[in-house]
Amino acid sequence: MTTEDDDLNRPARPPSPDGDPPEESRPPHAVPDASGRGRDASGRGRDTSGSTRPDGPEPGTPGRPDGSEQHERTAPSHRGTAEAKQRHTAEIPAPRDPKASAPPAKPPGAHGPHTQGGQHHGPHFSRRAGLLCGLVGALAVLAAGLVSQIHPSAPYHALAADCGRDDLVIAGGTDVSLKAQRRALVKQWNASTYPDGHPHRHARLVEVSDSTDLQHSQLAAVEQSGGCAYDVLIMDNTWTAQFAEAGYLKEIHDLPSPADFIPAALRTGQWHGAQYAVPFNVDVGLLYYREGTTPPARWSDLLAQGYDAQFADYEGLTVNVLEDVWNDGAENVLTGNARADEDALGDRVFPAVRRLTARVQGPLKASRQYQEQDAINAFADGDKLMRNWPYAFSALATEPRMRADGDRLRFHVAPLPGHTVLGGQNLAVSAHSPNPGPSADLVRFLSGTAAQRQLFSCGGFAPARYSALGLTPRRHAPEDVQARSCSVLMGRPAAPGDPDRPNQQQLAELGRAIVTALGRALPRPVTEHYPVFSATFRECANKVFDGTAGSADTFARVVADALKGRPSTC
């Protein structure tokens, strides 16, 4: 079994494209394949945990920054009913009094899993409440079982939970940060206290899956069932609308220094004017290029030269095609709250995808098989250009093939020459959490400046707060970025033979590229039906690439319907 210290010293471990669980969850008899990953007799990576990992800080980032295909599991809309109104406006308590022996009572009528008539009962449950929790857990297991029939390779953990527990459970995907920094942050939370010395509630991370589609399916299944298995959710920032609309999330209040958050990132956690999620890290597409290569200054030049991209059939395809569409004259279509009409989809988006086809069949042909890690491997093997997320910088900086003499790296990073997708992960509190107050405190801790700095300097994730890059809301030009290496930030000298990579100069280069790219970043469509849209958009794009798509009118109608939650096919 891998210890916490082992995890803190391991290199960045990108997720596998097939959704296999991390290496430490392999059975003792698993045989490494050519890549060194354990495989069972069928050739599929196996998860032997059967449930959650041992108590203690666990890896918990979403698999890829904007990972695999997503499938929607939407509960019937509850808006417009009195019950739904309570669910949507149920306020997460402000930072609670640490001296209190239990979280504050909810207002009369704000009934949750632990309330009756507005009175909070804490861990002492009635027999009826216990039976109800058991039933909810069983339903959650059944829901996940149905999902596993659709995705038989899903490494689902058991979903049954003790609704009377005192510890906090954070559910997310596999940590791809350098040396498991999200686990390190949870360990810090567990070791620290409130200002008056009162200890924090113990928290533990549960890895749901490597792939974002399976993360989405399990989190949605648990929340839809009313299960209390999870307190804090680590979500792709495109899920906020769906989860908030369905009543899965608590509204978040009293964020420390909200103006310090990058505004576009903070907006990804909002729905109908309320804050339901808080940015954990942001993501923007960046251009990696080898020493001696001049990065293209125009999008058309980048397409002509060819680069390692993510065109496999998963969320990365949606991201990469959207970036091309926006840079091919349709920058105000399929972004944010803008509802693309069929004319714009047929007259501007469809032709842009058609023009991309020649590139996908030419210089980008290899990328039709690539996800993030595949692109990193191709770039490390000698390709000159790559589009990827910020976390790839630290992964490459620790790759021996990408290091020259001394601290010099064999590559550089710059913003993409045009618009990029605004990605990232958000933190949210489950509407069914037995511990909403402490959960909100944990969200505030993980999204604070200190945590964001550590995620950037030590883990390679782009921070969502200006202050983590030495900036302010009024002074946030790329040239103003300030960065500290991990050893300097943490006050621990680098170990002999293990130089501090990336170093301060390299982190500053990455920070400048991130800030510049943020100025060009656009959000994906904000809709409670995003998983339907993404799956449909990918299917249509692939048909255009393969020459089997229908007309522009058909493309426009199908994509417009998907934005409204009506799946169809091109």
What would the 3-class secondary structure string for 240-265 be? HHHHHHCCCECECCCCCCHHHECHHH
- Determine the Cα–Cα distance for residues 408 and 526; give it in Å rounded to an integer: 41
> Residues 371, 440: one domain?
no
DSSP 8-state assignment for residue 272: T
In a domain, 39, yes or no: no
In a domain, 104, yes or no: no
- Determine the Cα–Cα distance for residues 202 and 199; give it in Å rounded to an integer: 8
User: What would the two tokens of residue 155 be?
Assistant: 């490494």
Q: Which amino acid is at 225?
A: S
> Residues 394, 529: one domain?
yes
DSSP 8-state assignment for residue 271: E
Look at residue 528 and tell me whether its pLDDT is greater than 60.
Answer: yes
Q: Specify the pLDDT at position 140.
A: 45
Sign of the Cα torsion 454, 457, 463, 465 reads positive
Q: Specify the pLDDT at position 500.
A: 77
The string of DSSP codes covering 48-88 is --SSPPPSS----S-SSTT-S------PPP-TTSHHHHHHH
Q: Specify the pLDDT at position 405.
A: 82
The string of DSSP codes covering 160-184 is ---TT--SEEEEE----STT-HHHH
Judged by average pLDDT, the poorest of 8-12, 285-289, 325-329, 444-448 is 8-12
> Residues 366, 481: one domain?
no
- Determine the Cα–Cα distance for residues 21 and 27; give it in Å rounded to an integer: 11
- The answer to whether 217 touches 225, Cβ cutoff 8 Å, is no
Q: 């009506």: which residue's tokens?
A: 566
Cβ-based neighbours of 525, under 8 Å, separated by 6 or more: 334, 335, 336, 338, 340, 533, 563
In a domain, 177, yes or no: yes
The whole domain housing 230 covers 168-282+423-496
In a domain, 55, yes or no: no
> Residues 411, 435: one domain?
no
Give the H or E element holding residue 124. none
In a domain, 152, yes or no: no
Number of domains forming the structure of the chain:
2
Taking only Cα atoms into account, the Rg of the chain, rounded to an integer number of angstroms, comes to 23
Cis peptide bond N-terminal to 65, omega within 30: no
Domain boundary among 496, 515, 535: 496
Cα–Cα distances (Å) from 380 to 64, 289, 351, 375, 401, in that order, read 18, 10, 34, 9, 7
- The answer to whether 206 touches 144, Cβ cutoff 8 Å, is no
Q: Specify the pLDDT at position 134.
A: 44
- Determine the Cα–Cα distance for residues 76 and 480; give it in Å rounded to an integer: 47
Question: 484 falls in which pLDDT band (50, 70, 90)?
Answer: very high
Look at residue 207 and tell me whether its pLDDT is greater than 80.
Answer: yes
> Residues 297, 351: one domain?
yes
- Do the strands 521-522 and 420-429 form a parallel or antiparallel pair, or are they unpaired? parallel
Q: Specify the pLDDT at position 178.
A: 86
Q: Specify the pLDDT at position 149.
A: 35
In a domain, 139, yes or no: no
> Residues 173, 206: one domain?
yes
CA angle centred on 422, ends 503 and 402, rounded to 5°: 30
- The answer to whether 286 touches 461, Cβ cutoff 8 Å, is no
Look at residue 127 and tell me whether its pLDDT is greater than 60.
Answer: no
- Determine the Cα–Cα distance for residues 517 and 418; give it in Å rounded to an integer: 8
Residues in the chain: 570
As a whole number, mean pLDDT of residues 105-117 equals 35
Percent of residues, the chain, with pLDDT higher than 90: 64
- Determine the Cα–Cα distance for residues 374 and 380; give it in Å rounded to an integer: 10
Mind listing the pLDDT tens digit for each residue in 91-103?
344 444 443 433 4
- Determine the Cα–Cα distance for residues 28 and 14; give it in Å rounded to an integer: 22
Dihedral, 531, 286, 289, 16 alpha carbons, nearest 10:
-40
By the 10 Å C-beta count (0-12 exposed, 13-18 middle, 19+ buried), 28 is classed as exposed
Sign of the Cα torsion 357, 362, 364, 365 reads positive
Judged by average pLDDT, the poorest of 1-5, 124-128, 381-385 is 1-5
- The answer to whether 518 touches 421, Cβ cutoff 8 Å, is no
Among residues 484, 395, 500, 465, the alpha carbon closest in space to that of 178 is found at: 395
- Determine the Cα–Cα distance for residues 429 and 137; give it in Å rounded to an integer: 18
In a domain, 201, yes or no: yes
> Residues 320, 437: one domain?
no
As a whole number, mean pLDDT of residues 347-363 equals 97
- Determine the Cα–Cα distance for residues 391 and 459; give it in Å rounded to an integer: 8
> Residues 408, 535: one domain?
yes
Q: Specify the pLDDT at position 499.
A: 66
Mean of the per-residue pLDDT values for the chain? 79
Query: Which alpha helices (DSSP H) does 468-565 contain, by range?
Result: 486-490, 504-518, 530-546, 552-563
Question: 175 falls in which pLDDT band (50, 70, 90)?
Answer: confident
In a domain, 354, yes or no: yes
User: What would the two tokens of residue 84 be?
Assistant: 């739904």
- Phi/psi for 115 (5° steps) reads -120, 155
Judged by average pLDDT, the poorest of 101-115, 237-251, 300-314, 456-470 is 101-115
- Determine the Cα–Cα distance for residues 147 and 169; give it in Å rounded to an integer: 22
**CA 96, chain centre distance (Å):** 28
Q: 């693309």: which residue's tokens?
A: 340
Judged by average pLDDT, the poorest of 215-229, 296-310, 372-386, 442-456 is 215-229
Look at residue 395 and tell me whether its pLDDT is greater than 80.
Answer: yes
Question: 339 falls in which pLDDT band (50, 70, 90)?
Answer: confident
> Residues 559, 416: one domain?
yes
Q: Specify the pLDDT at position 162.
A: 75
> Residues 446, 481: one domain?
yes
- The answer to whether 234 touches 172, Cβ cutoff 8 Å, is yes
- Residue 243 sits in a domain whose CATH number is 3.40.190.10
Among residues 376, 377, 373, 394, the alpha carbon closest in space to that of 459 is found at: 394
> Residues 330, 345: one domain?
yes
- The answer to whether 113 touches 135, Cβ cutoff 8 Å, is no
> Residues 185, 268: one domain?
yes
Look at residue 551 and tell me whether its pLDDT is greater than 60.
Answer: yes
Cα–Cα distances (Å) from 73 to 119, 220, 236, 493, in that order, read 32, 6, 15, 47
